[in-house]
Structure 1
């Protein structure tokens, strides 16, 4: 009998395989990860349930001086404003001390939220499949296994239409300098590429976190929009400060993608006001991850 070969980020049973591990952390970034581990424990102490790395550093693809450090901390209770202030201090300290990274970002959630029914196919999936355990008990042990299906597509990125008005407001309020616009281009480019990929993910039949591969997967099903997505993938790694790019995202590519996504997969389940969104913060957090 022929051996079954896992496809595109899946295990032998067809579930999305967890990406990244501490063993893949590049040598140059190991001191950063060690410091982050110690400081997360110092800052959050007994309030912390578990902590995770995600993004290019645990995937082993980080670039010195170009990649950021991405952390998620699950607390035993809902994060407070004081917790968020502590996280900002933690990030600022790591960013200023280690030239290897281009910024640090710590996401905060609660154990209860990660394991909630509402977040099972968004933040829960993110922790189980895209995060690498760093400290504490791994919440993936309490979560299901995931397939690249339409439910996962809807619950991770099915909220783009709701985000576009906020994007327009951010663009309107941004400073006119390239330095101010460049992070917006990077963030929005990454979100659009990842949304384009999850639009076709069930048909493509797998998972990847590589922006270029995501764009090519999308282009194979939507060739008329393929070049726009390829350009967005490039800008997600090497952003410019061109306001025309931002306008094209909120006036053309974004609205089209939101409409097509709703047609194919439906709209993401509503979150309580102020609760945020699992993927809207992390591949949409995750928009920071390199």
Structure 2
């Protein structure tokens, strides 16, 4: 981890137990900071928090407030993204090949007992893993269109949408080919390169999306291309190759 980001991580490690107390089971880092590739003032802090029970709306507001406070306090980061789930959900059969895999293979323990000890050893060529990690893009696209339509007509309002959707599309493209690539990574550019080796006609689009995942723009044309072209194509190809993700009670 780059030294400049250690105070940010230390603050998150201190504040999470203060917020959730004994209800906190564990917490994890993922993304560019634990990977050692974070850039000052450009990278965000990515956290996954596991509670001993399912989180409430108040829990989600609390972790959102923590993210806003850390973002305001530390100029080293550009935003905080936090996944908040209950322990039982993360270890459930339904999530074993989605959130469970994410915890076991892409997360770095920060606090508490590592849930990876209760999860299986995963193989990148498991078709169930590919289906369950990103087989729901078609369900996401209508919600994305609603978010785009509701956003303010400013670059500042659109940039977070571009970053979020870029990352989702690149990760979907990567897991489409993960079994053939025979490995996994959380680096967006490496994901796009792996995808491009198997889908050269779409390689440039995914490499551009990977770039926007790190340095988003506020161009509305980018969002339109995501929901009208790249997204629908990727959803269709994913369903053709791997099938559709098992339904969840909540999005």
- Structure 2 length normalisation: TM-score? 0.97
Per the alignment, residue 190 of structure 2 pairs with: 213
Per the alignment, residue 134 of structure 1 pairs with: 110
* Matched residue count: 250
SS of 1:109's equivalent? Answer: strand
Deviations 1:222-261 (A, max 9, x none): 1111111121111111221111111111111111110110
- Give the Cα separation in 1 of the matches to 2:61 and 2:200: 45
> Offset at 1:206?
1.2
SS of 2:169's equivalent? Answer: helix
Match of 1:146 among 122, 134, 155: 122
- Give the Cα separation in 1 of the matches to 2:72 and 2:226: 32
Matched, 1:176 2:153: yes
Per the alignment, residue 14 of structure 2 pairs with: 38
> Offset at 1:95?
1.2
Q: Of the two structures, which has the highest relative contact order with CA contacts closer than 8 Å and spacing of 6 or more?
A: 1
- Structure 1 length normalisation: TM-score? 0.84
> Offset at 1:43?
0.8
SS of 2:117's equivalent? Answer: helix
> Offset at 1:53?
1.1
- Give the Cα separation in 1 of the matches to 2:114 and 2:241: 33
Larger proportion of helix: 2
- Give the Cα separation in 1 of the matches to 2:189 and 2:81: 23
- Give the Cα separation in 2 of the matches to 1:203 and 1:128: 21
Per the alignment, residue 73 of structure 2 pairs with: 97
User: Over aligned residues, Cα RMSD in angstroms?
Assistant: 1.1
> Offset at 1:57?
0.9
- Give the Cα separation in 1 of the matches to 2:67 and 2:180: 38
Match of 1:109 among 64, 78, 85: 85
> Offset at 1:105?
2.5
- Give the Cα separation in 2 of the matches to 1:88 and 1:213: 30
CA contact (8 A) 2:44 2:77 kept: yes
Unaligned runs of 5+ in 2: none
- Give the Cα separation in 2 of the matches to 1:230 and 1:57: 21
> Offset at 1:106?
2.5
- Give the Cα separation in 2 of the matches to 1:241 and 1:105: 19
Per the alignment, residue 245 of structure 2 pairs with: 268
Matched, 1:72 2:48: yes
- Give the Cα separation in 1 of the matches to 2:84 and 2:14: 17
- Give the Cα separation in 2 of the matches to 1:244 and 1:84: 32
CA contact (8 A) 2:23 2:52 kept: yes
- Give the Cα separation in 2 of the matches to 1:136 and 1:240: 37
- Give the Cα separation in 1 of the matches to 2:190 and 2:110: 27
SS of 1:107's equivalent? Answer: strand
SS of 2:27's equivalent? Answer: strand
Deviations 1:58-84 (A, max 9, x none): 111111111111111111111011111
- Give the Cα separation in 2 of the matches to 1:169 and 1:127: 30
SS of 1:52's equivalent? Answer: strand
